[in-house]
Amino acid sequence: MRGTYFIQTWGCQMNEEDSEQMGLYLEQLGFRPSSGLEEAHVVLLNTCSVRKKPEDKAFSLLGELVPLKRRRPEMVIGVCGCMAQIRADEIKQRAPHVDFVVGTAQISEIPGLVEEAFQKRKFAKRLALPERKGAVVTDIPQRKVDRQTKLKAFVPIQYGCDKFCTYCIVPATRGRERSRATQDILAEVQMLVERGTREVTLLGQTVNSYGKNLAEGRVPFSQLLWRLSEIEGLRRIRYTSPYPRDFKSDLIETIRDCPAVMEHVHLPLQSGNNEMLQAMKRVYTQESFREIVHQLRAAVPGIGLTTDIIVGFPGESEEQFEETLAFVEEIEFDGAYMFIYSPRPGTPAADLPQLPYPVKQARLSRLAAAQDEISCRHNSEQAGKILEVLVEGRSPKDRTMAKGYSRDFRMVHFLAPDDLEDRTGRLAAVRAERGFRWGVQGQFLDWLE
């Protein structure tokens, strides 16, 4: 063993997945996970820039590392991820104790940079991003697929984003949209399933536009779902996040007909007002979004629907906000991630006149209260239904209870059966009894396998 490493991760599932890859690279060099930051030989900060808060947290941790690095100058500190991609110079200036900065498409450079940092202490950065739009990209770094055993695994199928919503920093941090080769995805999932994975979540910023500009020719997202569903032993397929405009009938039919594809869609709305959608450069309307929801609910009754919403985008009037609120009350999502708009330097919306923070905060509270009531009601309406639950083990909060998710992606808690430990990872039938904001409490009926 060469020493230990510690990776601090902020941001989305894509970042969590990248951190796992970074860990695998470090393990290959002979490093092992450390129990804490204090004693680690290599510390990586995998950062997020989507809002100001995660950026502040990363700079604050960098500050905390100053005395540590003074005490142990041999410690290697690397900053990776989305903030590293766009703020390398600022990081170097504000945190001169950082050894290297690595962008989102350069993870495979980390082992070399760590070795270099141990030998000569000289600031290094690796920030190259594929720049071409619409070209066949063949230089996507191969993922390390020799992964840990996991019941549920994330699998990136697409990197970057070409949508350029006016509030969003992701196209700058992740670069142009590029899809992974279908064969590579199938091989990775096959290997995961052989090691015990039963559910995969396919990751991409606009995941349903997967399959353009592949060397093998176009592979529609729905076709990828069908091909994955042929992998024996894979019980559930999820994906996040689809983009509303590209949500076509072939995908709706696949959700309806393909047994492994879960009856849940996370479909980001962002705003329910057409002027705001246009200002955000989201190329769909309230009407077309409603139409997709109607089609989904007609094809798959009881389908779980969740969303993302931003309040307080520049210029959002009280009436426009209320239209979003009314639309949320009309659609009745099962759950929503709701955010206060955070200006991201370098994006078009950041240059517009901003709303006062208290106004944004008040809107968030109103929207969240409305959504909480809906989530709670929908979960309560499950009472009496028999849910298929993929059992994940004991609930961390109450060890007498078991936890898992239903096919429409509700969290389900139930009194743990005696043979829970032997059967964890299997499907169970659970009768829903009570609903809460967080999910459903029920009674275990039987194992389904």
Point out which span in 251-259, 338-346, 363-371, 426-434 binds ligand SAH (CB under 6 A).
338-346
Query: Angle of helix 249-257 relative to helix 286-299, nearest 10 degrees?
Result: 30
Residue number with CB closer to ligand SAH (53 or 434): 53
Residue number with CB closer to ligand SF4 (50 or 260): 50
Q: Is 273 in the site for ligand SAH (CB under 6 A)?
A: no
Q: Which residues pair with 159 in a beta bridge?
A: 178
Rg (CA), the chain: 23
Exactly one of 22, 48, 80, 267 binds ligand F3S (CB under 6 A); that residue is: 48
Q: Is 310 in the site for ligand SF4 (CB under 6 A)?
A: no
Residues 125 to 164: which contact ligand SF4 by CB under 6 A?
161, 163-164
The amino acid occupying position 422 is D
**Cα separation, 266 vs 285, whole angstroms:** 17
What is the DSSP annotation of 263-310?
SEEE---B-S-HHHHHHTT----HHHHHHHHHHHHHHSTT-EEEEEEE
Window 47-66: contact mask with ligand SF4 (x via CB under 6 A): --------------------
Cβ atoms 259, 246 nearer than 8 A: no
We find the least distance from the C-beta atom of residue 275 to ligand F3S, in angstroms, to be 26
Residues 209 to 248: which contact ligand SF4 by CB under 6 A?
243
Residues 157 to 216: which contact ligand SF4 by CB under 6 A?
161, 163-165, 168, 170-171, 205-206
27 Cβ contact list (under 8 Å, min separation 6): none
Q: Is 16 in the site for ligand SAH (CB under 6 A)?
A: no
Residues in the chain: 449
Q: Which of 252, 3, 269, 222 is nearest to 118 (CA)?
A: 3
Residue number with CB closer to ligand SAH (31 or 243): 243
We find the least distance from the C-beta atom of residue 416 to ligand SF4, in angstroms, to be 39
We find the least distance from the C-beta atom of residue 119 to ligand F3S, in angstroms, to be 30
Cβ atoms < 10 Å from Cβ of 123? 14
Query: Angle of helix 249-257 relative to helix 221-229, nearest 10 degrees?
Result: 20
Residue number with CB closer to ligand SF4 (175 or 404): 175
**Cα separation, 269 vs 318, whole angstroms:** 18
Cβ atoms < 10 Å from Cβ of 420? 18
Q: Is 49 in the site for ligand F3S (CB under 6 A)?
A: yes
Q: CB pairs under 8 A, 24+ apart, for 397-405? A: 402/444, 404/428, 404/430
Residues 239 to 298: which contact ligand SF4 by CB under 6 A?
243
Residues 208 to 247: which contact ligand SAH by CB under 6 A?
241, 243
The amino acid occupying position 170 is V
Structure tokens at 222: 């729905």
Q: Is 101 in the site for ligand SAH (CB under 6 A)?
A: no
Give CA separation, 173 vs 84, 96, 261, in Å: 8, 22, 30
Q: Is 50 in the site for ligand F3S (CB under 6 A)?
A: yes
The partner in contact with residue 308, picked from ligand F3S, ligand SF4, ligand SAH, none with C-beta cut-offs of 5 to 8 angstroms by kind, is: ligand SAH
We find the least distance from the C-beta atom of residue 169 to ligand F3S, in angstroms, to be 6
Kindly state the DSSP code that residue 137 receives in the 8-state scheme.
P
The partner in contact with residue 164, picked from ligand SAH, ligand SF4, ligand F3S, none with C-beta cut-offs of 5 to 8 angstroms by kind, is: ligand SF4
Which residues are near ligand SF4 by CB under 6 A?
161, 163-165, 168, 170-171, 205-206, 243
Question: What does the binding site for ligand F3S look like in residue numbers (CB under 6 A)?
Answer: 11-12, 14-15, 48-50, 81-82, 169-170, 173-174
